[in-house]
Amino acid sequence: MTTSLEALSPIDGRYLRYTASLRPYFSELALFKYRVQVEIEYLIALSEIGLKGFEPFTDSEKAQLRLIYQEFGKDHGAAIKEIEKRTNHDIKAVEYFIKEQLEQLGLGAKMEWVHFGLTSQDINNTAIPLSMKEAAEQVIFPALEELCAELKKLANTWKDLPMLARTHGQAASPTTLGKEIYVFAERIEIQIQQLKQTVWAAKFGGATGNFNAHHVAFPSTDWLNFAHGFVSSLGLSRSRTTTQIEHYDHLAAYCQNMMRVHTILIDFCRDIWMYISMEYFRQRVNPGETGSSAMPHKVNPIDFENAEGNLGIANALLDHFAQKLPISRLQRDLTDSTVLRNIGVPFAHSLISIHSIQRGLGKLLLNESAIAADLNHHTAVIAEAIQTILRREGYPQPYEALKGLTRGNNTIDLPLIHEFIRNLNVSDAVKAELLQITPANYTGIIRFEA
């Protein structure tokens, strides 16, 4: 048996403890299981529409048929792989496997209804979006929501902690640490809402999407209505007009939506990396860990770097899927199938990244004194506040007056600003108002639901 040390990809080796939850959705065994599920449910649905020569299954027979995919395991997957050695076609191998199962259940007389009128992509383009939908809903969305909740908790904890903001890397109007964290929570939350509105589309319509075989065999049957109902029963939406394959526009939209999530998380990782570099945060030291092979003092922000790297890999793949899958030569070429075999890979890198960010957040130790020192060192940031109040009072050229005092002056401090205020030709009340402004209290409106 292959060990994690022998795995070709780190998602099945080094990071298996984070990605194992995706195996029920994206392994080859899982793909076989989903294909079997679609075939079985189609067979049952087909039996219920009154086709000549196809008596409906009894409730007991339906239950037995559903057990084929509900109890699908490694032995079943191995059996399909053995059949595939003969057929050199994985969907045909699934069909033959199901027929063998029907024989064993004493339902061999109905086995020619298996895969009736279908082409491979009726199964693949239904099984794969079903697996993606369930993986997203049961693994990815909960992981993102958990991360979002953690960010909101930190945002609430640090909601009132004043912090120097930076625009273009330069000191700017103060903010609070909590608000800056909440920016990311809100952005991610919006994207999760959009992700949950994803249309999980399936293609189901025969060899070139027109139900040719179905219609020629049973011309009086409303195959369009049947297909809509069948696909809906699986929790999917049937694409109405297709070629041999699903056009993948909705899948591309999901990929692009996930890319936005990942881009937001990359942005977050880089900001936290910068805050650690600025010593706004220190990191909890775990005994036995090494930060650098050469420099014993180092505690590197490896979790956020790991996340950033994995998010980049995920986005590169998702971008390829979004650009490639909606394109196919005429009615179909095989490139979509080749690409879709890797659909679980960006899910895995996404999950690794989320875990890395959570691990990194758990190591953060707030260095409040460094945050306060940086804020107090840049007293000039209250120049905006002073000149705005002076504008309100009709003071002549207030911006220019403050610019002359503060621009490029790294030595300016609060006493110097106070001296400037006292010499202004304004009322004592306005001077008193201006003298109350400090970098720590000039943080604006900080209001969010954490």
Point out the residues that are catalytic: 168, 292
Burial 96-135 (b: 16+ CB within 10 A, else e): bbbbebbeeeebeebbebbbebbbbbbbbbbbbbbbbbbb
CA dist list (Å): 73 to 34, 119, 282, 435, 440: 12, 25, 47, 74, 61
Q: DSSP assignment of 115-173, as one string?
A: TTT--HHHHHHHHHHHHHHHHIIIIIHHHHHHHHHHHHHHHHHTTT-EEEEEETTEEEE
SS3 236: coil
Judging by DSSP bridges, how do beta strands 281-283 and 364-366 pair with one another? antiparallel
**282 φ/ψ angles, rounded to the nearest 5 degrees:** -105, 170
Q: Which helix (H) or strand (E) holds 7?
A: none
The number of residues in the chain equals 450
Output the six-digit token pair for 391: 């504008």
Pull the structure tokens for residue 426: 């304004």
Q: Measure the CA–CA gap between 273 and 270, rounded to whole angstroms.
A: 5
Report residue 201 as tokens: 């589309």
Alpha-carbon distance of 160 to 300, in angstroms, equals: 28
Type of residue at 51: L
| Secondary structure (DSSP) of 168-206 | TTEEEEEEEHHHHHHHHHHHHHHHHHHHTT---EE--SS
DSSP code, position 285: P
C-beta of residue 118 within 8 angstroms of C-beta of residue 42: yes
Neighbours of 260 (CB within 10 A): 17
CB atoms within 10 A of CB 296: 8
CB atoms within 10 A of CB 223: 20
Q: What single-letter DSSP state applies at residue 238?
A: E
Q: Can you say whether the dihedral through the CA atoms of 370, 376, 380, 382 is positive or negative?
A: positive
Residue 349's nearest CA partner among 315, 305, 302 is: 315
The C-alpha atoms of residue 326 and residue 235 are separated, in whole angstroms, by 22
